[in-house]
């Protein structure tokens, strides 16, 4: 199930990032399951809870790993086994390890040299200035705080002025002030026509700056588009819940009188099956009514796991 919040794909002729029917599995574990998506210039947020498959997907998009099936193209080219494409893209992985013996400046200069820049000085100066670390650039990276290290990694990622930026959890370890600076920098880079894909498991981090959201749940692309549109679309879908209670018929009668549910049924196992489009109200009503009627709640469980995840992730935050 993929919920589309807008139809930008049909308007834009050539996606910068084109992921086509991609799956990735490790043994019996399916990490990414038949995902297709397109990313266009501007800032796109890749959201999802931890373990949703974001990093695996970003690894495939950046060529660090190959899909089990499907194809990934960047700027019209295959990304896997195509080293020259890295002149045009910058990737910052989620792993925060750095060469601790390098100073911040040496680290960025190392990246600049590998990108083939010559001379490197101007580019290195500009990148370090962009992340606001000029004053500490000559300190060894092992002495940096986590946030400073992340920013210097970002400087090394943008030093060659790439057209496409792929950033996996770039805000890890940064404080609120650094986040605002990061958001300003991303907006500036996007306004210059770049394509930026940022992953995060925290909606608020990305919601502010992203033009478009890709929402991953359990290895699948659960929703895409504008965050507001996604929320509206999700609200329109009924949410199915199974409730086991001490006195199911009394609780079902009480539930049907509330605005929280669309329909209530009792299955042969005496479990209440509720359909609801108002999850928040349902979550409040069930325990409230059970307590009021003196009914013992034995179990409340969603029957549509992926939808539940989408709801809990998007609606509750």
Partner 1 sequence: MKPILMLSLRQFSSRWRLLLIFFLALLPIALSALMATLASDDSEYAEEFTNVIIDALIIAVLIPIVTMVLATTAFRHELDDRTLSYLILKPIPRSLIVLPKLLATIVVGGLLVIFSGIIATLLGPELDAQAVLAVGIALVVGVVTYATIFTWAGLISSHALGFSLLYVFLWEALVTSIFSGVQYLSVRGYVLSIINGIDGNSFSTLDERVIEFPAAIVGATVVTALFFWLTVRRLRRMDVP
Q: How far is the CB of 224 from partner 1 (least distance, A)?
A: 26
Can residue 115 be called a binding residue for partner 1 (CB under 8 A)? yes
Q: Which range in 111-119, 223-231, 265-273, 305-313 contacts partner 1 by CB under 8 A?
A: 111-119
Q: Does 63 bind partner 1 (CB under 8 A)?
A: yes
Per the CB < 8 A criterion, the answer to whether 152 and 196 are in contact is: no
- Say how many C-beta atoms besides its own lie within 10 A of residue 211's C-beta: 17
Helix (H, G, I), strand (E, B) or coil at 165: strand
Three-state SS at 54: helix
What whole-number distance in Å separates Cα of residue 80 and Cα of residue 78? 6
CB of 39 to partner 1, least distance (A): 18
Instruction: Determine which residue in the list 74, 91, 255, 289 makes contact with partner 1, applying CB under 8 A.
Output: 91
Contact, 215 vs 314, CB < 8 A?
Answer: yes
Decide whether 166 or 243 has the Cβ nearer to partner 1.
166
Establish if 110 lies at the interface with partner 1 (CB under 8 A): yes
Which of these segments, 33-41, 46-54, 80-88, 187-195, binds partner 1 (CB under 8 A)? 80-88
The answer to whether 10 contacts partner 1 (rule: CB under 8 A) is: no
Q: At closest approach, how far in Å is the CB of 299 from partner 1?
A: 39
Assess 64 for contact with partner 1 (CB under 8 A). Answer: yes
Sequence-distant (6+) residues with CB within 8 A of 254 are: 289, 292, 293
Task: Report how far apart, in Å, the C-alpha atoms of 59 and of each of 22, 79, 157, 253, 276 are.
Answer: 12, 11, 15, 50, 37
Q: How far is the CB of 33 from partner 1 (least distance, A)?
A: 17
Q: Which of 10, 50, 84, 118 binds partner 1 (CB under 8 A)?
A: 84
Cα–Cα distances (Å) from 230 to 6, 102, 165, 235, in that order, read 8, 44, 24, 9
Q: Whole-number minimum distance, CB 54 to partner 1, in Å?
A: 15
Per CB under 8 A, which of residues 136..165 are in contact with partner 1?
Answer: 156
Interaction between residue 11 and partner 1 (CB under 8 A): no
A 10 A CB-CB count for 287 gives: 11
Strand partners, 244: 299
Of 78, 116, 246, 287, the one binding partner 1 by CB under 8 A: 116
């Amino acid at each position: 199930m993929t919920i589309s919040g807008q139809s930008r794909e049909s308007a834009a002729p050539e996606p910068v990032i084109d992921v086509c029917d991609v799956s990735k599995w490790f043994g019996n574990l399916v990490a990414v399951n038949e995902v297709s998506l397109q990313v266009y210039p501007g800032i796109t947020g890749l959201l999802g809870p931890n373990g949703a498959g974001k990093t695996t997907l970003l690894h495939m998009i950046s060529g660090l790993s190959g899909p089990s099936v499907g194809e990934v193209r960047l700027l019209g080219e295959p990304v896997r086994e195509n080293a020259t494409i890295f002149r045009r893209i910058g990737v910052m992985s989620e792993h925060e390890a750095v060469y601790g013996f390098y100073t911040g400046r040496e680290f960025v200069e190392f990246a600049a040299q590998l990108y083939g820049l010559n001379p490197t000085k101007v580019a290195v100066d500009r990148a370090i200035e962009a992340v606001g670390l000029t004053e500490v650039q000559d300190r060894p990276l092992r002495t940096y705080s986590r946030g400073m290290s992340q920013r210097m990694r970002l400087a090394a990622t943008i030093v060659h002025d790439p057209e496409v930026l792929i950033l996996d959890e770039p805000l890890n370890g940064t404080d609120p002030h650094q986040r605002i600076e990061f958001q300003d920098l991303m907006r500036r880079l996007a306004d210059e026509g770049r394509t930026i894909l940022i992953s995060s498991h925290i909606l608020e981090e990305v919601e502010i700056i992203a033009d478009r959201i890709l929402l991953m749940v359990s290895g699948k692309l659960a929703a895409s588009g504008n965050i507001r549109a996604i929320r509206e679309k999700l609200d329109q879908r009924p949410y199915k819940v199974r409730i086991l209670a001490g006195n199911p018929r009394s609780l079902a009668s009480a539930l049907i009188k509330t605005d929280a549910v669309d329909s209530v049924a009792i299955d042969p196992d005496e479990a209440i099956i509720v359909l609801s489009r108002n999850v928040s109200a349902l979550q409040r009503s069930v325990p409230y009514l059970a307590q009021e009627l003196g009914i013992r709640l034995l179990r409340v469980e969603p029957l549509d796991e992926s939808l539940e995840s989408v709801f809990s992730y998007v609606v509750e935050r």
